[in-house]
Structure 1
């Protein structure tokens, strides 16, 4: 089989059309370079160069060999670079699953940093309830899940790494009838519609207010800004609206979910790629900036 070194010898001679110059470029003696070219020619029963007095020219076989050799060496160079990028977590394909809240909180920042640092990395995202993403994790379609997913750690072979707690607040629009109250009871909330991330399938009580179920947090945010819906949401997700006064966080002493425990979930026995480890590091940093004691 032909070697990459011999292909480089052929290209060096073709580039300079001089065995002496090519030998110096390759760091070998001229006789050694001549033997390398001769071995190539004998292997394929062709002549690559015509050697005249003071002149070296490519034969038709030589032109074909040079064209193919350049293509092969370029592919080898790309292979080498990609493998080195992969080893540093900068290339490959990575699947990550998130709940809608974490997707809204993390994906914009993750997408920007990964595209900037690792343009050869393809990040495939999936959004949904943690239990619906478990099958994809077990099948290998997903490498990681980031969610409020403590129950997944009870599945054999699945590991959970707690990342911290995200503060949850009940938000309403500015000017909402509840916005001016000092405190709001749970029964007070029940008098108004609610926005929810998931359809939990609970049967509405007689006389209870309805609402909207929407996994897209941007859409839910627009709706809450312009209606009387209340919304249980991560404070970090609506920080700008709270700061500007477009949304107001209510004081609800009986709120069942004041904090959401966020975890990184992966398969315990599966070797995680450098890209997965790189991504997990970014996720830890981002979640740490949002967590509360």
Structure 2
């Protein structure tokens, strides 16, 4: 016979009620069955837990030590059970997740708000890198899943890639930018103006600009566009507030096709998602489907 959770709860109930009959009623079992269960525990360990008296029971000195330890164990098991339920619901556990820079800037505020609610026990670690860096981290088991725009990585035999949504991309400059005076803008017109991006120049060879700022933080890129003559491509959701108040303007550049950019998730093939990872993938799908990934929605 092993000491089970039910056994511990029985000992605690008898000690609290000071009566086998009242404890049995509380535990929804018969009084004889409870008495036999307690007697079996006493026989197993070789000492009495309770003194049987005419008016009820009294905890022995040794029994008091057992009751205190039982209470601590039951509390820990209740926490354990609660944590398992949270993990199963995608509200608990640990998740290491990766985002490409623009997606991080666009989605993380909403992502954090959804996963760090008062009823959550989730511990989230976020890695923000370009696609190749996230792929290396995935293969090294540093992250469980990551999200990236199309063309950032290529499909691989050991990597499972799935479409989660899309974003609308545009080319943006500050209000009053000299390019806005032109009726038509060609790619060669960009040569005179700095180019802002999160990717290295060899990944964007069609952009003729000579001056570049490469930065993983699109919040910084957005502020830089608003205060300089730089040009930047990003999602329209991410700059929706600035477009609405007129501080940023979208330009159309001939020979620089933009539009919907597909967003993918990647994980190791044949590896099952944790409940938290599955919830993260579902959440990103919801944001992109609703066009609500932008930080402006949470402000």
- Residue-by-residue CA offset, 1:135-172 (whole Å, 9 max, x unaligned): 22123321211101446452112121123432221111
SS of equivalent to 1:111: helix
> Within the alignment, does 1:135 sit opposite 2:136 as a pair?
yes
Matches of residues 74-93 of structure 1 in structure 2 within 5 Å?
A: 74-93=75-94
Matches of residues 207-218 of structure 1 in structure 2 within 5 Å?
A: 209-218=210-219
Corresponding position of 1:162: 163
Q: Distance in 2 between matches of 1:230 and 1:221?
A: 10
Q: Distance in 1 between matches of 2:245 and 2:209?
A: 31
TM-score when normalising by structure 1: 0.91
Corresponding position of 2:186: 185
Corresponding position of 2:251: 250
When residues 184 and 4 of structure 1 are mapped into structure 2, their CA distance, relative to the original with a 3 A threshold, is same
Q: Distance in 1 between matches of 2:153 and 2:175?
A: 38
Which stretches in structure 1 are left out of the alignment for 5+ residues?
Answer: none
The structural deviation recorded for 1:10 is 0.7
- Residue-by-residue CA offset, 1:3-23 (whole Å, 9 max, x unaligned): 221111111111111111112
When residues 208 and 7 of structure 1 are mapped into structure 2, their CA distance, relative to the original with a 3 A threshold, is closer
The answer to whether the 8 Å contact 2:111/2:283 transfers is yes
* Cα-Cα RMSD: 2.2
> Within the alignment, does 1:286 sit opposite 2:273 as a pair?
no
Corresponding position of 2:25: 24
Corresponding position of 2:35: 34
The answer to whether the 8 Å contact 1:183/1:250 transfers is no
Q: Distance in 2 between matches of 1:201 and 1:211?
A: 12
Which is worse superposed, 100-109 or 261-270? 261-270
Which is worse superposed, 135-144 or 59-68? 135-144
Q: Distance in 1 between matches of 2:174 and 2:69?
A: 66
Number of residue pairs the alignment of both structures matches? 288
- Residue-by-residue CA offset, 1:225-269 (whole Å, 9 max, x unaligned): 111111111111101101110011112121155442211112220
The answer to whether the 8 Å contact 1:144/1:265 transfers is yes
Q: Distance in 2 between matches of 1:187 and 1:85?
A: 55
- Residue-by-residue CA offset, 1:66-97 (whole Å, 9 max, x unaligned): 11111111111122222122222221111211
Q: Distance in 2 between matches of 1:222 and 1:110?
A: 22
When residues 13 and 261 of structure 1 are mapped into structure 2, their CA distance, relative to the original with a 3 A threshold, is same
SS of equivalent to 2:36: helix
Corresponding position of 1:11: 12
Which is worse superposed, 229-238 or 77-86? 77-86
The answer to whether the 8 Å contact 1:145/1:266 transfers is yes
Corresponding position of 1:63: 64
Q: Distance in 2 between matches of 1:289 and 1:19?
A: 59
Corresponding position of 2:264: 263
The answer to whether the 8 Å contact 2:164/2:281 transfers is no
TM-score when normalising by structure 2: 0.89
Matches of residues 111-126 of structure 1 in structure 2 within 5 Å?
A: 111-116=112-117, 119-126=120-127
The answer to whether the 8 Å contact 1:153/1:265 transfers is no
Q: Distance in 1 between matches of 2:125 and 2:119?
A: 14
The answer to whether the 8 Å contact 1:90/1:117 transfers is no
Q: Distance in 1 between matches of 2:166 and 2:246?
A: 25
When residues 95 and 208 of structure 1 are mapped into structure 2, their CA distance, relative to the original with a 3 A threshold, is closer
Q: Distance in 1 between matches of 2:69 and 2:276?
A: 33
The structural deviation recorded for 1:128 is 0.6
Corresponding position of 1:232: 233
